[in-house]
Structure 1
């Protein structure tokens, strides 16, 4: 059951894609291929569209920066063309424009109070999902061993990316309520968890609100920036098949000389997942995400290491 027709917020269906501007587009191109994405359209030296094996026509747009690398915003698919028309009437919104990438479609771009772009899209032609040969593992436990006489073998390669799942951004201290109100009044996003320090909120995680329909624990989060930090994107996260595929992807990236930002680890508060972050516009692989709906209560959790992970390497200072 979707949200009621009387709800004034822009009605979101799912995440669509992220946009990044790269000072070195060729280097970004190679990293994203090693990360497990595939190229579906390329204008050499200008713009590259990357897809996963899901039905989205693309999930990542890499563009040549002029001059510095920066985040170009994230996109959600909306329910109808009428939602685009509503979006174009939001303060500081663009008019409706056509998308240039694979699958076509139309979009409206909103700008939040800190200057981050939010793109709303409709009418993209979906592609046929191209599921790779990835087995759903049968696990032998200590007291239940259903896998008898069968073996599980793996191939060392990049972790095939399924889709883009969520992203996060930072905001100047003191802007929490303004940012919270902007996202929850304009977009059909609802809080899943809120992290607090000294009884003040510092991080909030939001899922796409489809009422009783379950969606991923968060499609978006924002956190308070450090005093000297400008508003930036924290990371974008891409779903992979399972933990083994994620771990193999981690090893593949390490073999190519990429520097791990944090991971592999299992997150607790946010949702049970395995992640690896690579310091290249910080991207993340994740798997095993929780699903929530309007019946899930919002947790208010004190900040600290236990709010971030169950196991994994020590938490970098940049994540605390």
Structure 2
């Protein structure tokens, strides 16, 4: 394992892991997934979903009366697979395996089966079920879509070597063209079980842990997980999870060319009446410049650029969870983004979670609410 200087030191936390704390990786995972492949949703109105998708910056890869596949400009599979269904909801992620034999290994280890994916997509998959209850696909051999023209980062006059002379800068106010799927964030009341499942089954490794202030002895309440590609750098997080009363989707993130593409794309979305949830700012864990939006069904999506890349030699950072600790700069995190705005649905979800056999109790719930208001 490469030995590197701790990138967390003085930035993410005052100290690293303590003796006996979660190591953030499995000693012997079944496989090591290499990336997110795509995310799956259902929506009752595919026409509305397609309009928002194009305004947000996706390109349409496939459109039928029952399915909508959305892609970025980079070669690969679609970022999103949306099927027509009675309600708008997240149905699960798909991860990419490094080799076809990984699917056989997963099938043997979990009692699943390997099956052929849809003919227009190609490849094979295995469907697993994570401790949070929703299906997780692992796929290999999917047919790749060719590269599309993308937005070029704008040349910037910074430092002592200007690159732009007699050439005014006028970024077009247009959709921020999506390059690729970056990560998905999930909430679960079975946080530790789900965390260990992703480490043991898919070989993900933790980049950062967050814990409740004053309650570090109870373990982490959020984890940012990346793919283990050995010495090849991977996104700081491909999957992030946090303890909470809900189960499932929080948001998903999509890379764009640069800050100008992100900001001009945000102005374009605002002009068309879409609702910004939070932004523009720069995160601490992951360092991305971010901008969060709600689609017409109130699902949250993020434009991001300039995120951290870690290889397998970086051990987890540890930091207290707080609303103010989510960004280095930018406006304060909104109640909409944090999920702390009071509502009957949130109250019902919290009460239901407290009655179930899971990892959430009253002290943890109150600690989460306090952290997200600090």
Query: For residue 182 of structure 1, what is the aligned residue in structure 2?
Result: 197
- SS of 1:125's partner is coil
Matches of 2:72 and 2:152, distance apart in 1: 17
Query: For residue 202 of structure 1, what is the aligned residue in structure 2?
Result: 221
Q: Paired residue for 1:83, among 102, 123, 130? A: 102
Alignment of 1:71 onto 2:90: yes
- SS of 1:21's partner is strand
Distance 1:167 1:92, change over 3 A: farther
**Contact 2:292–2:300 (CA<8 Å) still a contact in 1?**
no
- SS of 1:252's partner is helix
Q: Paired residue for 1:224, among 239, 243, 263? A: 243
Q: Paired residue for 2:268, among 220, 230, 252? A: 252
Q: Paired residue for 2:173, among 144, 151, 156? A: 156
Q: CA deviation at 1:131?
A: 2.7
Q: CA deviation at 1:20?
A: 0.6
Q: CA deviation at 1:176?
A: 2.5
Higher Rg? 2
**Contact 2:210–2:223 (CA<8 Å) still a contact in 1?**
yes
Query: For residue 131 of structure 2, what is the aligned residue in structure 1?
Result: 113
As a proportion of its length, which structure holds more helix? 2
As a proportion of its length, which structure holds more strand? 1
Matches of 2:302 and 2:145, distance apart in 1: 24
What does the per-residue CA deviation read over 1:40-78, in whole Å, with 9 as the maximum and x for residues that have no partner? 21111x11111111111311111111x222211111111
Alignment of 1:212 onto 2:231: yes
Distance 1:286 1:102, change over 3 A: farther
Q: CA deviation at 1:136?
A: 3.0
Query: For residue 358 of structure 2, what is the aligned residue in structure 1?
Result: none
Matches of 1:39 and 1:143, distance apart in 2: 42
Q: CA deviation at 1:276?
A: 2.3
Q: What stretches of structure 1 of length at least 5 have no aligned partner? A: none
Equivalences for residues 255-274 of structure 1 within 5 A: 255-274=271-290
Query: For residue 130 of structure 1, what is the aligned residue in structure 2?
Result: 148
Query: For residue 139 of structure 1, what is the aligned residue in structure 2?
Result: 156
Matches of 2:223 and 2:119, distance apart in 1: 32
Query: For residue 287 of structure 1, what is the aligned residue in structure 2?
Result: 305
Moved over 4 A (4+): none
Matches of 1:13 and 1:233, distance apart in 2: 21
Q: How many residues align?
A: 308
Matches of 1:297 and 1:103, distance apart in 2: 37
Superposed CA RMSD: 2.1
If asked which structure has higher relative contact order (CA below 8 Å, sep 6+), I would say 2
> Which 10-residue stretch deviates more, 306-315 or 141-150?
141-150
Query: For residue 58 of structure 1, what is the aligned residue in structure 2?
Result: 78
Q: CA deviation at 1:7?
A: 4.7
**Contact 1:264–1:274 (CA<8 Å) still a contact in 2?**
yes
- TM-score, normalised to structure 2, is 0.77
- TM-score, normalised to structure 1, is 0.90
Matches of 2:102 and 2:222, distance apart in 1: 28
Distance 1:276 1:261, change over 3 A: same
Q: What stretches of structure 2 of length at least 5 have no aligned partner? A: 3-26, 339-371
Matches of 1:289 and 1:208, distance apart in 2: 15
Q: Paired residue for 2:56, among 31, 35, 51? A: 35
Q: CA deviation at 1:269?
A: 2.5
